[in-house]
Structure 1
Amino acid sequence: MTVQLPLEDSDLAPTTETGSGISAILPDLAFRRMSIVNVIFYGDPATDADWVLIDTGLPTSRQAIIEAAEHRFGVMRPPSAILLTHGHFDHVGSLETLAQHWNVPVYAHWLEFPYLNGQASYPPADPLVGGGAMALLSPLYPRSPVNVEQRLQPLPQDRSVPFMPGWTWLHTPGHAPGHVSLWRAADRCLIAGDAIVTTGQESVYEVMTQRPEMHGPPRYLTPDWGEAQYSVVELAGLKPELIITGHGQPVRGANMRARLQQLADKFKEIAVPEGRPYALDPAKPGKRGNDTYR
């Protein structure tokens, strides 16, 4: 029996529609939903400071992202960088064309490099995790690598985030070996990527309705559930005030934190597909604790 962690409408973070499909959460943080996934714009358009694009949606998202960026920051203000939470198809679909269009560096955790420099494909999806048609169709989703080798840069070892002062990156693997989340301690703001999501991704109905719930990472593309649990426990321990995830609406507040803690405390019962905790061997040089750059 699936355990659900519903969120209330009062848990949704207030947003302001600013045009071109952009929803502003904070003065320096906005997002646009691109079909099934969010792309995030960091930077205050009222200043001349750097701005960063976080994830790049699907291959069909390119033009919409460019238009949204130009609407928010101006035609003559390209991003200073593109930052990736991880390299799955719905987060890097427009990466190659956008990086070339703007002529900017791409930052990611080094464990994602094989999937970003053309060397390796992700493990196959698991269609038998349950939940609906999105899971059943998952073997059809692209898993081949993109190639931005000439622009690819590792995230700094001191955990700072390029062009995002006050933020640190956190290694939150499980859904992908080099998955990262971004954390700003000053206001307890968390960009979680797919380490957690706030709507179910296995069901077409939930994807379409965006019903707010606290979930672990999308099941059909999560090969290492032990790592995924560790990551959720780490994020819950931060006690964030605001979370924006790769899928679903941004959420905030005490009830959100309570649901996140429930997910961490009962991760195996809530998040892990019954009888499907497979751990394949994707292209990564070490497990947690065996490498020094985390």
Structure 2
Amino acid sequence: MTRTDPASAARRDGCREVADGVVMITRAVTNSYLLATDDGLVLIDAGLPRSWNLLVDALAALRSTPDDLVSVYLTHGHFDHVGTLERLQREHHVPVHVHAADAPLVRHPYRYDRESPRSLYALRHPGGLPSLARMTLAGALGVRGVEARGDVSHGVAVLGGLMPIATPGHTYGHVAFHLPDRDVLFAGDALVTFDPYTGRAGPQIVARAATADSRAALAALPDLSATGASTVLPGHGDAWMRGIREAVSGALAIGPH
């Protein structure tokens, strides 16, 4: 797979290498990540249902198939991050792991707390409508929940040397994953570089229409800063190559929205 400049990816659909052994899979402004480790191939988040073919393509580029995945680790349980799990479990028996507080959400990925009604928010922020339409076409309204192992804990390393960092706020059990040996931080939706609900680009927390507690989400950002990671890989938007500290500073300046 050819490595491309992630800053030029412009949130287009496709697969691209964004760090050593890390492939970003993007469908409808939603990212998941395929990670090659000494423990095997790991998937971080599972995108929308119609990202399946892109996942298969990313695996094929590594001369692998879904049967070669050793695990899926979820940053959180929202519908747009669990979309391929049902197929991965049913056809390939891939284990899925998440923080215990988000295990019920993985079972029911549309039952989540939010600070602002989605319908009214869309009317106030029409810039997000194109992204939400793309997500709908990618299967956002037809996601099936699954059973996940609620065994991801803050500060307890998992496969591949991934270190979970508790970042509650977007959801109650949200975690980011730090990969120190590659200087990479998988931020999930604790910090994104594009918000599908507003259409706004740049480092920020996700809009109130999809966030349980914006104040808690902002309070969690310094723990991400403490990693000092150079490469930040968000759940939505382009990879951020200018360091987590600058990204967090930008998100704090914007605040909740």
Q: Which bracket does the TM-score occupy, shorter chain normalised?
A: 0.7 to 0.9
- 1:63 deviates by 2.9
Deviations 1:48-98 (A, max 9, x none): 741111111112222332232223242485210111111111111121112
Query: CA distance change for structure 1 residues 15 and 103 in 2, over 3 Å: closer, same or farther?
Result: farther
Report the structure number with the largest CA radius of gyration: 1
Q: Which letter maps to 1:132?
A: P
Alignment RMSD, CA only? 3.2
- 1:241 deviates by 0.9
Q: Name the counterpart of 1:80.
A: 70
Give the TM-score normalised by the residue count of structure 1: 0.70
Q: Name the counterpart of 2:249.
A: 261
- 1:223 deviates by 1.9
Q: Name the counterpart of 1:175.
A: 170
Greater fraction strand: 2
Runs of 5+ unmatched residues, structure 2: none
Q: Name the counterpart of 1:190.
A: 185
Query: How many matched pairs?
Result: 241
Query: CA distance change for structure 1 residues 72 and 131 in 2, over 3 Å: closer, same or farther?
Result: farther
Question: Does the CA-based 8 Å contact 1:22-1:30 persist in structure 2?
Answer: yes
- 1:249 deviates by 0.9
Question: Does the CA-based 8 Å contact 1:15-1:24 persist in structure 2?
Answer: no
Q: Name the counterpart of 1:271.
A: 255
Runs of 5+ unmatched residues, structure 1: 1-11, 274-294
Q: Secondary structure at the match of 2:159?
A: coil
Q: Name the counterpart of 1:90.
A: 80
Greater fraction helix: 2
Q: Secondary structure at the match of 1:199?
A: strand
Q: Which letter maps to 2:81?
A: H
- 1:184 deviates by 2.2
2: CA distance, partners of 1:27 / 1:197: 21
Deviations 1:125-178 (A, max 9, x none): 62345432537997x9768984422xx22234473343212x210111111111
- 1:222 deviates by 0.6
Q: Secondary structure at the match of 1:164?
A: helix
Query: CA distance change for structure 1 residues 195 and 135 in 2, over 3 Å: closer, same or farther?
Result: farther
Question: Does the CA-based 8 Å contact 1:171-1:181 persist in structure 2?
Answer: yes
